[in-house]
Amino acid sequence: MRFTALGFLKAILLNREYQGLSMIFVVKNYRLLEECAKDILSVIKPTEEDQNKRLGAVKEIVNLVGSLRGVDAAVTVKPFGSFVSKLYAKSGDLDVSVELANYSGFPTGKKRKKNALRELGAALRTKGVARDVKYILSARVPVIKYVSNYYGLPCDISIDNYSGRIKSKLLYWINTIDERFGDMVLLVKEWAKAQNINDPKNGTLSSYALCLLVISHFQHYEPAILPPMREIFIASIAEGSGGFNEKHFDQIWEENIAKFRCREIGQRNPISLSRILANFFGRNSLNFLTYYAGRTPLMTKSSCEIVNDPFDRDGAMIKVDVPGFQRIASAFKRATDIIDSYEDTPGRNELVSLLCTPEVCSKLGGTATADRYTGSTGGGPISRPQRYNSGRQGAAPY
């Protein structure tokens, strides 16, 4: 991996900034980025109508399950995912877990989950509730994907998704600590979709993995914006047949967050959302590049371990495949090249085109350019993606 002299200096400066040192010559005006971020959030943040559509879709599933012959009265329907954590965008889908009656004391087996999903999928079709019904039963978490006919909302149904439910509630409580966290997650997910790196089925990052990257980034500031997860998370939680006592854990998590807020009084980090966003791209660009250059033990011929899941009881790492890693690294580097260019300042359309999907870009009066990153690797393992066509030639050196 080759670095220019300027790129090497920039890497050093970025690294020092993340260690909390005040370096006046690193300061950059992100006023336009701040304005663009606020404009994007105004388009992608959900409204009361979006919330009601999701509540309606949940009720639709409740009614469907209740109409099935022989269904145990103990079966329940629980939403989870970004809707529960309040980290969903207008265009986001809805995740729902159907909790089966379980009197054995053991977790539900995969065979039973698959049979339940087949029955639900058939009912979705025959009762006219859904279209585009797809069974993904070979996945680690079997799921049905469909679009609600009435609400036009993409939905995913899984069975006894304890892990998904508890992680959603944890993210909900983390989201209550600082409003910048929720805004950052929405902006990062929108950017990742625009760069085609928010697709775990094709070897890139899940929305959950993006949330973990944002959490890690917020913990690197001094003073930290978010506390270590061990100060909030109850490590002894284990999956069982009866789910988890939400009220009990909510109380504990709320108390732990209150303790962090007490310590934070008088020293809240005032850093702006735009600087957090720019630093996020810069820090991860550096991390991904040094990761690849070093060929760490976390990288194999087929996969790369990207981020630790602090909420997984086994300490699992979230992985992507090698081509996906290359696309992710290039996308982070490209964002850094554009936002923190030392040679020129990006215009509004260039920033909006970088950060938004074409749908959102058009609502903001921008033009999504044709050379959006598509994943080609050119002449090297992590080649530099081309800048959007903004009327300026070439790209700033890294």
Kindly state whether residues 104 and 35 are assigned to the same domain: no
Q: Which residue has the tokens 């006219």?
A: 128
Instruction: Please indicate, yes or no, if residue 313 is contained in any of the structural domains.
Output: yes
Kindly state whether residues 131 and 223 are assigned to the same domain: no
Which neighbouring-strand residues pair with 159? Answer: 98
Tokens representing 210 are 């993006």
CA–CA distance, 252 with 246 (Å, rounded to integer)? 10
Q: What proportion of the chain, given as a percentage, has pLDDT over 90?
A: 59
Q: How far is CA 38 from the centre of its chain?
A: 19
Residue 350 is predicted with a pLDDT of: 92
Residue 235 is predicted with a pLDDT of: 52
pLDDT digits (tens, 9 = 90+) for 145-193: 999 999 999 999 999 998 899 999 999 999 999 999 999 999 999 999 9
Return the minimum-mean-pLDDT range out of 60-64, 156-160, 345-349, 359-363.
345-349
| H runs (alpha helix) in the chain | 5-18, 31-44, 48-67, 82-85, 110-126, 162-175, 179-194, 207-219, 246-264, 273-294, 322-339, 348-355, 358-363
CATH number at residue 89: 3.30.460.10
Beta carbons within 10 angstroms of residue 326's beta carbon: 22
pTM of the complete model: 0.83
Residues 6+ apart with CB under 8 A from 135: 117, 118, 121, 144
CA–CA distance, 41 with 184 (Å, rounded to integer)? 10
Q: How far is CA 88 from each of CA 7, 50, 93, 211, 325, rounded to the nearest angstrom?
A: 36, 10, 8, 11, 25
Q: In the predicted model, what is the mean pLDDT of residues 219-239?
A: 80
The total domain count for the chain is 2
Let me know the angle formed at the C-alpha of 196 by 194 and 200, rounded to the nearest 5 degrees.
Answer: 130
The pLDDT mean for the chain works out to 82
**Residue-range definition of the domain harbouring residue 61:** 51-160
Instruction: Please indicate, yes or no, if residue 175 is contained in any of the structural domains.
Output: yes
Q: In the predicted model, what is the mean pLDDT of residues 265-278?
A: 92
Q: How far is CA 281 from each of CA 207, 354, 366, rounded to the nearest angstrom?
A: 16, 12, 22
Residue type, position 351, single letter: L
Kindly state whether residues 32 and 56 are assigned to the same domain: no
Task: Output 295-299 pairs: Cβ under 8 A, ≥24 positions apart.
Answer: 299/325
Instruction: Please indicate, yes or no, if residue 241 is contained in any of the structural domains.
Output: no
Which of 118, 134, 160 is the last residue before a domain boundary?
A: 160
Residue 356 phi/psi, 5° resolution? -120, 155
CATH number at residue 308: 1.10.1410
CA–CA distance, 167 with 180 (Å, rounded to integer)? 19
Kindly state whether residues 35 and 62 are assigned to the same domain: no
Instruction: Please indicate, yes or no, if residue 58 is contained in any of the structural domains.
Output: yes
Specify the length of the chain in residues: 398
Q: In the predicted model, what is the mean pLDDT of residues 23-44?
A: 82
